[in-house]
Amino acid sequence: MKLAYANDGLDSAVIKSAMEQLSEMKMFSSEGENIYATPVSAKYVETITTPIFTAAKVTA
């Protein structure tokens, strides 16, 4: 599962608890199989944007 706006101030116990609650809802299935039965891991992925160039604005 990927979340676009995750709270990065939560500790592992809170995150694991939330993930376990989601898995208990059995909301995610594929071909009749619960594909999110047991939370395995969680991580934050940080993306850094590095501008390479910006075109100058053209004035009329």
- Binned at pLDDT 50, 70 and 90, residue 16 comes out as very high
Do residues 36 and 17 lie in contact, with contact meaning Cβ atoms separated by under 8 Å? Answer: no
pTM above 0.75, yes or no: no
- Binned at pLDDT 50, 70 and 90, residue 53 comes out as very high
CA quadruple 29, 33, 37, 39: dihedral, nearest 10:
-70
